[in-house]
Chain A
């Protein structure tokens, strides 16, 4: 939650939910609904996560990669920018931007290992070409702030920094990347929402602590509700539905 967030490009680029939820006209023509759009982005988040576990990078790199991917689709269509190429390329770019470079050939190796499906098969040169296009789509803005940094400070301040609370909130934050929260809200508010959820879940009384913070509790509660809604609907996201959604992208309008 360092003071510099407020002067960062990340802060300036925060979007309204409506702008994030705009399905690109090219995708709409192919019958992609808002539901499909969210589903594909969620699936690609999982893809990035699985790939990241193979090549062993920090959570921060994953979070940055997912943010890049979600930013790209506020500007570009999935029809033109195949999510199955964009996802690994975002991880590749994020690994460089976060100073823990992963070699492109390593990614290609694990892509093959993870997905037998030919639709996922891309080679090094495809990734390098897409890297340039993604840089353009991001308008070369690469610095992203994440809730993790403020989390430990908050937990310590609220005397909630025991292992189980830390793990729970950390996990909830990881899950928020399956949604578009990072494009809409300042990261420290996302962290607070996750702490709020975790403390309610573990029946810890944090009312007094939250009251002392100079933040708009309504915003924190709204973010928390969004996260809970997501957990609710998450159960209905089946493999089949994802494949159907991805299938639409290949349809001629």
Chain B
């Protein structure tokens, strides 16, 4: 019965489109759900060796996603067998946080960073409330929808925790996001491992590059200790009892401020609480959400207004009025939104990103700016932009006349 019916289902309900990529356990393709008109992503789960039925990882994902329904967690819309393979239907997500972080055309305001962090933590909080550990938190598993909503995805490594003596593998997470207790081989761990990974993502949003890029597990610990100092037994009493514990040469902690020069005091405070060595003392996701960095000061950007990478080639028509529109026309360096120092005025003394010395870029930068009027660029990483920090804080007369020309242009533009 089930063998005859579902073949209709793909044709009847889902119109297959292009292949999006190769997932952990099969091909993912785009499709249109004809019942709802919604664009979806369908994961076709390979029946690997044919001898062990539905893929174990896929089953884990199904099991947990059926229990986790939340705006910040990817939705499993449907599942069905087709030609002997199981297919999972997910809501279609435009991009992911890794693409946002890597895209040099995107400037992230403190409000944007806060918004991305908040959505990440909200999704995690739902998991932890239901005793689910994600165990694979990293920017490319945080998907972003067309409305800017960030959603946790890829629950293939996730597990239910809560039985106090249950032993887990420590081989989880991409190395750069692995908590120190995992690197020391602990088999009994909790929600803290996800918090550490979320802290790495937070740091990555601030720095615009992965924060702790270890080349091996040993090196990863070295990188962690170089950033936060070698933990003392007083800081983390259980450390010495961990299975793979080895003594590291003592390094003092540099001031956190020196690693994140542009972050606010509140951001640094939250970061240091999420990066606490002792997992028992590490802040919980719920506490992090209530931390004053998240709850006070600059509000997080509403998801719809968050910057996202330009859509891929396929939808040319919409490129015209898209915010990142004419990017392709100018050399990549010119199309960057923030060019502090070039014109010699301080980045945040004016609505700097409206102005550029290249008139050809004008339309684009203005268009960009309509998207958001974010506060000062706190997280700018100049090394990433290949530019020096501004060294002339005041506006010179040459700049002034230059600015005037620009402003004239803007007015004439508005009159059109």
Contacts and interface: CB of A to CB of B under 8 A. Distances in A.
Chain A bound to chain B: yes
Given A4-B129, A80-B1, A132-B2, A140 B66 contact: yes
Contacts of B329: none
Contacts of B20: none
B163 to A, nearest CB: 8
Interface stretch (B56-64, B317-325, B406-414): B56-64
B302 interface: no
Interface string A3-32: 010011100000000000000000000000
B53 A140 contact: no
Contacts, number: 70
Interface stretch (A38-46, A100-108, A173-181, A190-198): A100-108
A4 B68 CA distance: 11
Interface in A98-141: 99, 101, 103-105, 124, 127-129, 131-133, 135-136, 140-141
B190 to A, nearest CB: 14
B157 to A, nearest CB: 12
Size bracket of the B interface? 20 to 34
Interface string A146-173: 0001000000000000000000000000
B67 A9 contact: yes
Given A2-B131, A7-B130, A142 B62 contact: yes
Contact of B159 (A99, A124, A131, A149): A99
B367 interface: no
Contacts of A124: 51
A143 B3 CA distance: 26
Contacts of B86: 132, 135
Interface in A199-225: none
A187 to B, nearest CB: 14
A2 B80 contact: no
B51 A104 contact: yes
A143 B2 contact: no
Interface in B32-79: 47, 50-54, 56, 59, 62-64, 66-67, 76, 79
B51 to A, nearest CB: 7
Nearest to B131: A4
Interface in A63-100: 80, 92-93, 96-97, 99
Size bracket of the A interface? 20 to 34
Given A8-B67, A140-B79, A96 B56 contact: yes
A168 B2 CA distance: 43
A20 B62 CA distance: 25
Contacts of B129: 4, 7
B237 interface: no
Among all A-B residue pairs, the 10 with the closest Cβ atoms:
A142-B63, A128-B53, A132-B81, A131-B53, A4-B130, A133-B2, A140-B79, A140-B62, A141-B66, A143-B67
Interface of B: 1-3, 47, 50-54, 56, 59, 62-64, 66-67, 76, 79-81, 84, 86, 129-131, 159-160, 162-163
Given A101-B52, A143-B66, 20 more contacts: A99-B159, A103-B51, A104-B52, A104-B53, A128-B50, A128-B52, A129-B3, A132-B2, A132-B53, A132-B86, A135-B86, A136-B2, A136-B81, A140-B62, A140-B76, A140-B79, A141-B66, A142-B63, A143-B63, A143-B64
Interface of A: 2, 4, 7-9, 80, 92-93, 96-97, 99, 101, 103-105, 124, 127-129, 131-133, 135-136, 140-143, 149
